Amino acid sequence: MKFAYKFSNLLGAVYRQGNLSFSKDGNSVISPVGNRVSVFDLKNNTSETLPVSTVKNITCVGLSPDGTFAVVVDEDGAALLVSLITRAVLHHFHFHKPVSGIRFSPDGRKFVVTKESVALLYHAPGKQREFNAFALDKSYYGPYDETTCIDWTDDSKCFAVGSKDMSTWVFGAERWANLIYYSLGGHKDLIVGCFFEKDSLDLYTVSQDGTLCVWQSDSELKDLILKKDRDQPKPPSQGEEEEEDEEDDDGRAEGEVIRGKPEAPKENNAKKNVRYKQISKHFFNKEGDFNNLTAAAYHKPTCILVTGFASGIFHLHELPEFNLIHSLSISQQRITSVAINSSGDWIGFGCSGMGQLLVWEWQSESYVFKQQGHFNNMASVAYSPDGQYIATGGDDGKVKVWNTNSGLCFVTFTEHTSSVTNVTFTSSGFVIVSASLDGTVRAYDLHRYRNFRTFASPRPAQFSSLAVDVGGELVSAGAQDSFEIFLWSMQTGRLLEVLAGHEGPVSCLCFSPARSILASASWDRTVRLWDMLDSWQVKETLALTSDGLSVTYRPDGQELAVATLNGEISFWNVDAATQTGSVVGRHDLETGRKETDKISAKQSAKCKSFTSLCYSADGDSVLAGGQSKFVCIYNIKEQMLMKKFEISCNLSFDAMEEFLDRRKMTEFGSLALVDEGAGDEDGVNISLPGVRRGDMSSRHFKPEIRVSSLRFSPTGRSWAATTTEGLLVYSMDGSLVFDPYDLDLDVTPASIRKQLRLQEWASAIVLAFRLNENALKQEVLETVPHQQVPVVCGSLPDIYVEKLLGFVAASLETSGHLQFYMTWAQSLLMLHGQKLKNRSGAILPTLQALQKSIQRHFDNLSKLCDFNMYNIRYAAALSKQRGVKRPAEEEKVEEDDEDDDDEEELSEEMSVASLEDADMIL
């Protein structure tokens, strides 16, 4: 139960590539992020990442019209059928080729998948369980190049497919006698979007060079005639359409095959075929202002066309008159994807270059949602003392602060001009300190969102490590070029001391949580303990077996853990300066082999090590991560591995697999080493030695999987890791394990409910906590009468007081019974406060979880009360002014005075009420 953590959310990345889509109600955006799918709820301002992942990065997502499930396809064509209600994978399927688009029909009975130049029509999965959820109905051939876009008519009778060969094809979803296929030309560049008019066969096509063609059909949708069996043609001759059942090259049945020709199908005398004519042509680009059109979306009910361009500009046009509503630049990067919600009010934009996701309300011309992840890798992470916020620093020089409840970033600091190497919170929780390679350490205020202190060294230095003492008064940073540690005062901003003594770069700093002692790990194979009270002298020097990479204190300050270059984690007693144990963790990292490596993964693992360490909230275990896809939890007392977490299974990253694919090996070595555009040489392009993140000059850049920083939440219920993928949050999962505390034959749900009927509240609570079933504990607690709570709390054994306090803290987060659970918390703390204080170190995570829950409710309620108070004042002022005539200025002055008096009385009453609420909460 203790290590039952599971993936909870992905922060720090909101959009990578692929198509955006809105939910059925139009209030949520579904965005592909790497090999996962994130859902952003725009009404409640929260984000959630689905607990499903594909093998490679996702390229397209198809959403069913009723919003119950989605088809997710990755770069190789592997597809997952995902339920958006249960968040579970229902079916696996492989299209065997990269898929360019997927689109469900409006009635939800079929969907079209386009790969290469083929359009495949499938029966959509039904409500019943099926052996094969993806049943192929028809295959449509026609375009000569890759297909780019799909659109359906409103009644699901026909669909259109745009292609890179500058043509658009209209196909019949059923066997229509007068519309089997139709090819439309008229463009000079690849088709970006094709859209049917509402309840019509009329069509708009948009191409990359900024051209819009309007096509008019001579028939209505109701004029389509279903082909009868007796009308089926004999084996077709040259020039006629072909329809037959075929098998693909690799033996897979293609269903019914329809092969289109560039010329129109041959007509029967009885039935006139559907024909199109181009009635107008419009151009987005003005003379001399050429710009690539990269994305387009059309809202049929309001006839609004949204187009995004490579320069970051987007246009809104009203069709068919092509009237410009407005034009705006939202980014410097190309707009990759555009989507419109069902009501047509909100437009979603995705920019893959910046990792940016925007939702724009075009009528009020304002942002509904604007989020952007770190442009480059994340370097460090820090939890606030109450566990409510997470701060991250990245290689793009930005410091971002995320709310753990909503999963969204609410402030970004951009003052640094180079990579941020470390971030940390002060003990108050309202100040963030960050160190950077630009030679500055900056402090930010979370009340006013400003950079209020900037610390610098006398001569320029690149700061690679950072620590702030418990009181928040001393700020220390270690330099990687001058081997010195700098100390500043937070109050004055002045440099207090430069600590010299290390003979190598300072890799990590950590202040003791209990005393003013600074521990510094260095590449000179030592850890030095500096006493801040005794004129900054070296108190102890701990000799390591290898270069020190990371150092951290246990939450009680009595033990020190150090990660070294040889892959070991050593534990030290701080008072005696002796080593108490060590863990050899190199084999647990299990690093993979990069595509450009000349040696096997087993050999390269010998030089790998842990680069980040963190103690759990109770101090019993340590969390370790490094240049690998695994994060390990070790038990310190037993010195053994307790659990390994695989943070990613995305094969789009480098060094994921232990062995290279033999199909990619040639006589020259790996295909990854052969760069097609390397010049006149032998074509082998090997990255320079010492380049850790890939050679930036190479044409193909594949990021390597790594864990750069780890932190445990102070509440002990979650931990966060900054990885190549983003910021991954793992939370405790109570539903996974049945973990009774003191199980006996008498401890059953029936006996617990019997005690409730007898009104033996204390024994019922003890039995419920011995069984340790969450639903049962909640039932027992909420059955206890409100006035009996203090009595029950007083008669509980000490060991169950902590368990009950932890359960109350967890229940407060989700329950609506706010005052009831607050009464439990208050009674427990009042009656058992002294005993709890004696064990404050052990129950600190529980108290911090309780504080986090209360603080969140307090913030929400105070906003609501303020809003209600202003509304009441406004209503009171309006009611007094109804029907009152104002002939003279004197009456107005008198009324104003009366209103002021009434408002003062009202505000006094409100302030008394709010003080009472505050007392109750405290």
Of 73-77, 152-156, 241-245, 487-491, the least confident: 241-245
Q: Contact at 8 Å (CB) between 447 and 430? A: yes
* pLDDT in the model for residue 77: 92
Q: Contact at 8 Å (CB) between 826 and 789? A: no
Angle, CA 354 vertex, CA 353 and CA 357 arms, to 5°: 110
Average pLDDT, the chain: 84
If you average pLDDT over each of 496-510, 666-680, 787-801, which comes out highest?
Answer: 496-510
Mean pLDDT of 596-617: 82
Q: Which residues contact 559 (CB under 8 A, 6 or more apart)?
A: 553, 571, 572, 573, 574, 580, 619, 636
Q: Say if residue 890's pLDDT is above 60.
A: no
Structure tokens at 708: 């750069």
pLDDT digits (tens, 9 = 90+) for 519-546: 999 999 999 999 888 777 788 899 999 9
Structure tokens at 146: 């890759």
DSSP 847-875: HHHHHHHHHHHHHHHHHHHHHHHHHHHHH
Sign of CA dihedral 898, 903, 904, 906: positive
pLDDT digits (tens, 9 = 90+) for 229-285: 544 444 333 333 444 444 444 434 567 888 877 776 666 655 678 899 999 999 988
* Amino acid present at 366: S
pLDDT digits (tens, 9 = 90+) for 338-378: 999 999 999 999 998 888 999 999 999 899 999 988 887 88
* pLDDT in the model for residue 588: 85
Q: Say if residue 786's pLDDT is above 70.
A: yes
Q: At what angle do helices 818-838 and 840-881 cross, to 10 degrees?
A: 150
Sign of CA dihedral 870, 871, 872, 874: positive
* pLDDT in the model for residue 669: 67
> Could you give the CA distance from residue 486 to residue 502 in angstroms, rounded to a whole number?
12
CB atoms within 10 A of CB 7: 18
Q: Is the peptide bond before 887 cis (omega within 30 degrees of 0)?
A: no
Q: How confident is the model at residue 612 (pLDDT cuts 50, 70, 90)?
A: very high
Q: How confident is the model at residue 552 (pLDDT cuts 50, 70, 90)?
A: very high
Q: Is the peptide bond before 320 cis (omega within 30 degrees of 0)?
A: yes
The rounded percent of the chain whose pLDDT value lies above 90 is 46
* pLDDT in the model for residue 73: 95
> Phi-psi category of 560—alpha, beta or left, where left has phi over 0 and alpha has psi -120 to 50?
beta
845 CB-side CA count, 13 A = 21
pLDDT digits (tens, 9 = 90+) for 43-100: 888 899 999 999 999 999 999 999 899 999 999 999 999 999 888 999 999 999 999 9
Three-state DSSP class for 673? helix
Of 127-141, 538-552, 831-845, 871-885, the least confident: 831-845
Mean pLDDT of 768-787: 85
Beta sheet of 431-436, edge-to-edge order: 420-425, 431-436, 440-445, 450-456
Q: Contact at 8 Å (CB) between 203 and 160? A: yes
Q: Say if residue 698's pLDDT is above 60.
A: no
pLDDT digits (tens, 9 = 90+) for 435-465: 999 999 999 999 999 999 999 999 989 999 9
pLDDT digits (tens, 9 = 90+) for 373-423: 888 788 999 999 988 899 999 998 999 999 988 899 999 999 999 999 999
Backbone angles phi, psi at 860, to 5 degrees: -65, -45
Q: Is the pTM of this model over 0.95?
A: no
Mean pLDDT of 745-761: 84
* pLDDT in the model for residue 694: 43
* pLDDT in the model for residue 287: 63
* pLDDT in the model for residue 212: 94
> Phi-psi category of 605—alpha, beta or left, where left has phi over 0 and alpha has psi -120 to 50?
alpha
* pLDDT in the model for residue 257: 87
Mean pLDDT of 108-112: 92
CB atoms within 10 A of CB 239: 9
Beta sheet of 118-123, edge-to-edge order: 99-104, 110-115, 118-123, 135-141, 253-259, 242-247
> Could you give the CA distance from residue 458 to residue 386 in angstroms, rounded to a whole number?
35
Q: How confident is the model at residue 733 (pLDDT cuts 50, 70, 90)?
A: low
Q: Say if residue 850's pLDDT is above 60.
A: yes
Map tokens 């990067």 to a residue.
Answer: 333
* pLDDT in the model for residue 253: 54
Q: Contact at 8 Å (CB) between 178 and 246? A: no
Nearest to 517 by CA among 498, 540, 500, 550: 540
Nearest to 350 by CA among 38, 729, 723, 24: 38
Backbone angles phi, psi at 867, to 5 degrees: -65, -45
**Alpha helices of 421-540 — where are they, by DSSP H?**
none
Q: Contact at 8 Å (CB) between 239 and 223? A: no
> Could you give the CA distance from residue 7 to residue 219 in angstroms, rounded to a whole number?
53
Beta sheet of 28-33, edge-to-edge order: 21-22, 28-33, 36-41, 46-49
* pLDDT in the model for residue 829: 87
Q: How confident is the model at residue 684 (pLDDT cuts 50, 70, 90)?
A: very low
Three-state DSSP class for 196? strand
> Could you give the CA distance from residue 84 to residue 105 in angstroms, rounded to a whole number?
18
* Amino acid present at 573: N
Q: How confident is the model at residue 133 (pLDDT cuts 50, 70, 90)?
A: confident
CA distances from 457 to 250, 469, 491, 495 (A): 67, 19, 17, 8
* pLDDT in the model for residue 915: 45
Structure tokens at 295: 């994305």
Mean pLDDT of 172-181: 88
Structure tokens at 269: 């005398």
> Could you give the CA distance from residue 916 to residue 922 in angstroms, rounded to a whole number?
10
Selected residue with higher pLDDT from 655 and 120 = 120
